Amino acid sequence: MFYQRVLSIDQFNTSSFLFGPRMTGKTTLLHSFKSVEYVDLLDPDLELSFRTDPKLFWQQISALPKGSLIIVDEVQKVPVLLNYIQKAMDTLEHHFILSGSSARKLKRGGANLLGGRALDLKLHPLIADELKTDFHMDRALHYGTLPKICDLLHDRQTDLAKQHLKSYISTYIREEIQSEALTRNLGAFNRFLNVAAQCNGQIIEFANISRECSVPMSTVKEYFQILEDTLIGFYLWPWDKSERKKARPKFYFFDCGVARAIQNRLNDPPTLMETGNLFETWLVNELRRICDYTRKEHEFTFWRYREEEVDILISNSRGPVLAIECKAGRGDLRRATITQFRKTFPKVPLVVASLRDNKPRKIGTQEIWPWKQVLVHYKNNL
């Protein structure tokens, strides 16, 4: 099934990096462009050829017509090609779309990032607007929204979808972690991954995870960095003007289905508590995806004061513009939370994003919006 992606690279009329986790549909999207040359570095023979003799790449693209569009898939596998890509942009006026599932090698290996000549774009799992009438919240929370998984669920192949999600973990560890030599101790990393998935959407206690995994706390932090660098998850930091207080972030996996697969929970329907955590995970991810696709310059944090907390705080360069509390049921915020939040942010709108409500409600001064309304408001009004 073909999904019309919101991200339209050709609208920018310039070269671009396109990064995203595996199975988000990068290759499918790239094949939709009419390029003069498509270089697939997943082909082991081609990768070896260019790794052995990078100048061969330059010779081939030099023979193409001036101003050609060239796609290089999985560019991080042979980072040295970026030197020739920059040369081709400057002297041959070629345009490039450079994709990959990990920017770690490029950023940390000192690779040529083209000096601002290419946009930094990300492709995520499918958002609700891309799935349209095929979007079902229960499916999104239970199995996530990777395109292949959505295809299988659409065709009612639920068991096969589960198998793909389970294999995603082993494939990810083998191809992203082992092949790129990000860590030598795969056993310890695997233990960490299971514990990290259990902590999805929660404040990270590095010392506790260190004890559970039997690895040093510094290694735990390095493992979380690997997940972030390979786009499998991201930190959500607390909002605070004091940098020293940003020591306890939350961590979210990029897809609910992947998080549940790591937890070995795919055969069981989410519990009520799990549904709340998954809904929060999905909404944080959905808002970040919309932000990336619409190129909004927003920062996402959460707000916490002692025992009071609000799940999402969205800020622009002038400060916070919207606060969102996620509720899987039809509850509202505690009065103490509202009172303390208003002391800190008297003019910032605070809404409850409801999983179950179909129409907006108001309890006192507290506004409760259906999740769809929250997304529309963020997309169109911020």
pLDDT band at 104 (very low <50, low <70, confident <90, very high): low
The residue among 157, 142, 95 whose CA lies nearest residue 275 is 142
Which class in CATH covers the domain with range 128-276? Answer: mainly alpha
Q: Find the mean pLDDT for residues 252-277.
A: 95
Angle at which helices 272-294 and 371-381 pack, to 10 degrees?
20
Q: Is 234 helix (H, G, I), strand (E, B) or coil?
A: strand
294 — phi, psi (to 5°)? -95, 0
- Return d(Cα 193, Cα 201) in angstroms, integer: 14
C-alpha distances in Å from residue 257, one per residue of 150, 159, 221, 232, 312: 11, 13, 24, 12, 21
pLDDT computed for residue 13 by the predictor:
74
Instruction: Give the CATH number of domain 9-122; options: 3.40.50.300, 3.50.50.60, 3.40.50.2020, 3.40.50.2000.
Output: 3.40.50.300
Q: Each residue of 38-65: pLDDT tens digit? A: 999 989 999 999 999 999 999 999 999 9
Q: For residues 105 and 111, is the Cβ–Cβ distance under 8 A? A: yes
pLDDT band at 112 (very low <50, low <70, confident <90, very high): low
Q: For residues 237 and 284, is the Cβ–Cβ distance under 8 A? A: no
Of the CA atoms within 13 Å of residue 64, those in its CB half-sphere come to: 22
| pTM of the predicted structure, to 2 decimals | 0.93
pLDDT computed for residue 2 by the predictor:
76
pLDDT at 175 > cutoff 70: no
Retrieve residue 346's tokens.
């008297």
pLDDT computed for residue 130 by the predictor:
97
- Return d(Cα 89, Cα 93) in angstroms, integer: 5
pLDDT at 183 > cutoff 90: no
pLDDT computed for residue 93 by the predictor:
93
Alpha helices in 144-233 (DSSP H): 147-154, 158-171, 186-198, 206-213, 217-229
- Return d(Cα 312, Cα 316) in angstroms, integer: 13
Q: For residues 41 and 78, is the Cβ–Cβ distance under 8 A? A: yes
Retrieve residue 256's tokens.
């609910």
The β-bridge relationship of strands 15-19 and 95-100 is: parallel
Retrieve residue 216's tokens.
């040093």
pLDDT computed for residue 241 by the predictor:
64
The residue among 249, 238, 262, 244 whose CA lies nearest residue 205 is 249
Q: Each residue of 3-22: pLDDT tens digit? A: 899 987 766 678 899 999 98
Distance of alpha carbon 133 from its chain centroid, rounded?
A: 23
CATH number of 296-381: 3.40.1350
Over the chain, what is the mean pLDDT? Answer: 90
pLDDT at 110 > cutoff 60: no
pLDDT band at 340 (very low <50, low <70, confident <90, very high): very high
pLDDT computed for residue 114 by the predictor:
76
pLDDT computed for residue 258 by the predictor:
96
| Spans of all domains in the chain | 9-122, 128-276, 296-381
